[in-house]
Structure 1
């Protein structure tokens, strides 16, 4: 099974994955990237109302094969 690497930018840090995760295929890597963004948003929301989270997936050769971004914009309405 192939290994995929998930580079994450949470708006504060840009983290490069040097370990990777073994997954069945590219579709599982896509789902993992999206789930990671949702988890990041859940963990970081107390820090502010506007935030963009990014995930880039690389294959075993280091080639970027997928990218995703989750943007949250929120605020009180007066």
Structure 2
């Protein structure tokens, strides 16, 4: 199984995924990215902060293969 790494950014800090996860293939990346972005958004929503979240996915050879963005507005 290929290993993919999900690096994140919340506008203040960037986190490089050093562990990664094994997925059956690239078709599973959007689902995993959405789950990750949802979790990041929930944590910030509970803090009452607006944010733009970015997840960049790379293969184990370092090539970026996916980018997802989520925007959270708190008023």
Same fold (TM over 0.5): yes
SS in 2 for 1:18: coil
SS in 1 for 2:31: helix
Q: What is the deviation of 1:67?
A: 0.2
* Unpaired runs of at least 5, structure 1: none
What is residue 4 of structure 2 aligned with on the other side? Answer: 4
What is residue 14 of structure 2 aligned with on the other side? Answer: 14
Runs of 4+ with >6 A deviation: none
Structure 1 residues 48 and 11 mapped into 2: Cα distance closer, same or farther (>3 Å)? farther
Aligned length: 75
Q: What is the deviation of 1:9?
A: 0.8
SS in 2 for 1:4: strand
Q: Which has the larger radius of gyration?
A: 1
Q: Distance in 1 between matches of 2:2 and 2:38?
A: 24
* Unpaired runs of at least 5, structure 2: none
SS in 1 for 2:37: helix
SS in 1 for 2:62: coil
